Amino acid sequence: MPELPEVETARLCLERWARGRQVRGVLVRERRVVAKGGPPLAKLVGARFVGFDRRGKHLLIGLHAKGKPLGLWSHLGMSGKWLRRKTGEEPPRFSRVQIDLSGGVTLHYADLRLFGRLRLVPGAAFEKLPAVAALGPDPLHEGVDPDRLGERLQRSRKAVKPQLLDQRLAAGVGNIQASEALFRAGIDPRRPGRSLARAELARLARGIRASIDYSLADLRKQIGATGGRDVQYVEEPAGPNPFRVYDRANEPCPRCRRGTITRLIQDARSTFFCPRCQK
């Protein structure tokens, strides 16, 4: 499932592929991926791509339409991807929306499971979308502040791992990054978030940032960010599991070597951790 690093990578690709290009045509193949409430996507025709922002897992794309700002909001849900093809080329599998651009470039929003959503935002006023307005600080833009994290964790009795999935804490952290960050911080995911001491909060804040930076570097290697417009999004995940603990149940702990990575279910989501060195 796309988390901050994957969405940031999608942002980078879209910027390389679409910056300065004008929309020539829009084809919606599956209406379910268009969120209700916005103008029809056909309003994109004639607009030019100018800005490529991200906040947490939300893509906030800016266009100019007849001299006025227009926003394209995109959330990738469980399996959404932005892909590039030459105009006229066969669409990729699960292409739900196709946007033809000047210069012979076509963007496809592909989504197997149909949980992702797109929406046009008049005036590019993204802050008016409740899901965007509710987001906490973005770890890449604003860092992770241990004091603020501690203050937020105090507000619930839940275990720290499910708490980290709350997008008001550190926007963009999902199930993978939460397990990875807690492993890096040496904190047991079952502990109540409110029990974390100051030094542990500082370690967790560093762990979140380090885990995201690591994933970003790994994805950048995969897409071959060689510059220019040649960057290609990796369409099918390949290569070995890059994570320290995620999806590594029953393997030896890569840090203490004596513990065994254990999988447990918290709030219906998998958590991976080392019971020996995460206290």
Give the residue numbers marked as catalytic. Answer: 2-3, 57, 269
Nearer to Zn ion, 143 or 259 (CB): 259
Is 276 one of the binding residues for Zn ion (CB under 5 A)?
yes
What are the start-end ranges of the H helices in the chain? 4-18, 130-133, 139-142, 146-153, 160-164, 175-185, 198-223
Spatial separation of the C-alpha atoms in residues 49 and 27, rounded to whole Å = 17
Nearest residue (beta carbon) to Zn ion: 253
Spatial separation of the C-alpha atoms in residues 94 and 75, rounded to whole Å = 16
Stretch that binds Zn ion, among 40-48, 62-70, 145-153, 255-263 (CB under 5 A): 255-263
Stretch that binds Zn ion, among 102-110, 210-218, 239-247, 249-257 (CB under 5 A): 249-257
Is 277 one of the binding residues for Zn ion (CB under 5 A)?
yes
Phi then psi for residue 58, to 5 deg, are -105, 130
Nearer to Zn ion, 169 or 274 (CB): 274
State whether residue 34 is helix, strand or coil: strand
Nearer to Zn ion, 192 or 275 (CB): 275
Is 249 one of the binding residues for Zn ion (CB under 5 A)?
no
Q: Which of 259, 264, 269, 270 binds Zn ion (CB under 5 A)?
A: 259
DSSP state of 40: P
Nearer to Zn ion, 43 or 263 (CB): 263
Is 112 one of the binding residues for Zn ion (CB under 5 A)?
no
CB of 73 to Zn ion, least distance (A): 40
State whether residue 142 is helix, strand or coil: helix
Is 274 one of the binding residues for Zn ion (CB under 5 A)?
yes
Q: DSSP per residue over 201-266, as a string?
A: HHHHHHHHHHHHHHHHHHHHHHHT--STT-----SS--SS---SSTT-TTSBPTTTSSSB-EEEEE
Nearest alpha-carbon partner for 95 in 32, 9, 29, 35: 29
Q: Which of 229, 256, 260, 267 binds Zn ion (CB under 5 A)?
A: 256
Interacting residues with Zn ion (CB under 5 A): 253, 255-256, 259, 274, 276-277
